Structure 1
Amino acid sequence: MTFSADVPHLDAPQTERDALLRALGLSGPEPELDAFATQLAQEADAPYAMVNIFGAEQQFFGLHTPGEESELPTVGRSMPLDHGFCPEVVDRKMALVLPDVFASPRFAGNTVVDLIGIRTYAGAPLLHGDTVLGTVCFVGPVQRDLSTGRSSLALIKQRRDDVMNFLYRRAGIQP
């Protein structure tokens, strides 16, 4: 990979992450990122999908949530940094797939399990070098068979790559 000299790509504090977000033209929610989230939700057959950027809180620059006709809760465009499973992905800098979050006591007690009834999760980090910008993820209220793990992992990594390639193209940065 080659990187533009003016774009930070090391494990960076938030100020460097913010500089990278500016270089990539990311400042808030965008219709194009909402479209990525919608496509991911459809392909994953999940009611929720996000392009999640980390700052002072998690911000969903891309969001797909169930429509008003659904009985599922709607979610807003932000969430505290200690909620959900994406903070784990950011810390690990690796994808995480939980076909059934209750299968792991470590993840079963997460706040979003109770808030919106999450039972399945798949997320991958948005990486520029070693800098994690956030994640691409999908979540749902129905557990999945463990055999779905590999296909969920392949899907979430592909969508992560698609989002990063879009951001690079748009900003004129060579990945």
Structure 2
Amino acid sequence: MSYDPPRPVGRLLLTPEDDDAPARTRRLRGLGLGELPEPALDAFADRLAELTGAPYAMVNFLDAQRQFFAGLHTPAGGRAARGGKPEVGRRLPRDHGYCPHVVARRKALVLEDVGDYPRFAGNPVVDEYGIRSYLGAPLIDTTGMVLGTVCVADFAPRPWGKAGLETIKATAADLVVRLEARTPP
């Protein structure tokens, strides 16, 4: 599998480089993750959406080419409820959204209003899906590998605050324990 590094735009690198993508892909396959939607991870995303009050919640696994939401909670109401914006599906290119930044940083990312950050305001999810705020944390396993993220997103700016940051980090830590305890198919 080849990996083309992101291209800089001006002085900004819009999507961070991900040298761990090949090893992450192997690790995910070994755990039986990242290829199919999983009802248990959808339920996890549903609980996370309820806990945070966010319209989107996701368990996201990344490889070199794409992101895959093995767990996904989307808002009720379809396109009409969001002014004609499409629904986020299970797959997104690596240059969409903020999870690749969380994976590269190996730290949680809080964007209360993506418009406040030039690096993030031009991301395709802003125009294509109407995303205005994001909160995500990495899923770091016991080997030190970042498997992916848990995250929530909203159509409006949100003051996630310290409580939101603590919630997303705790849910990520809880999920990693569950993922590593499962028996791969």
The TM-score bracket by the shorter chain reads: 0.7 to 0.9
Match of 2:154 among 106, 122, 140: 140
Report deviation, 1:22. Answer: 2.7
Q: SS at 2:110's partner residue?
A: strand
**Amino acid of the structure 2 residue aligned with 1:168:** E
Distance 2:39 2:165 in 1: 25
From 107, 110, 113, the counterpart of 1:94 = 107
Pick aligned residue for 1:62 from 61, 71, 83: 71
Aligned to 1:22: 29
How far apart are the structure 2 equivalents of 1:151 and 1:125?
17
Matched, 1:80 2:89: no
Q: Which runs of 5+ in 2 are unaligned?
A: 1-17
Secondary structure at 1:171's aligned position in 2?
coil
Higher relative contact order (CA 8 A, sep 6+): 1
Write out per-residue CA displacement over residues 68-104 of structure 1, whole angstroms, 9 at most, x where no aligned residue.
3661342110000011011111111110011111122
- Alpha-carbon RMSD: 1.9
TM-score, normalising length from structure 2? 0.79
How many residues of Structure 1 are paired with residues of Structure 2 in the alignment?
160
Cα offset, 1:28, TM superposition: 1.8
Identity %: 51
Partner Cα separation in structure 2 for residue 103 and residue 29 of structure 1: 33
- 1:157 alignment partner in structure 2: 169
Specify the SS of the correspondent of 1:137.
strand
1:49 and 2:63 are equivalent in the alignment: no
* Ranges in structure 1 where 5+ consecutive residues have no aligned partner: 1-10
In 2, the alpha carbon distance for the partners of 1:105 and 1:58 equals: 23
Q: How much has 1:125 moved relative to structure 2?
A: 0.8
Residue type of the partner of 2:152?
F
Q: Distance in 1 between matches of 2:128 and 2:150?
A: 20
TM-score by length of structure 1 reads 0.84
- Counterpart in the other structure of 1:125: 138
> Would the aligned equivalents of 1:21 and 1:133 in 2 still touch at CA under 8 Å?
yes
Q: Is the aligned partner of 1:71 residue 2:113?
A: no
Letter in 2 for 1:96: L
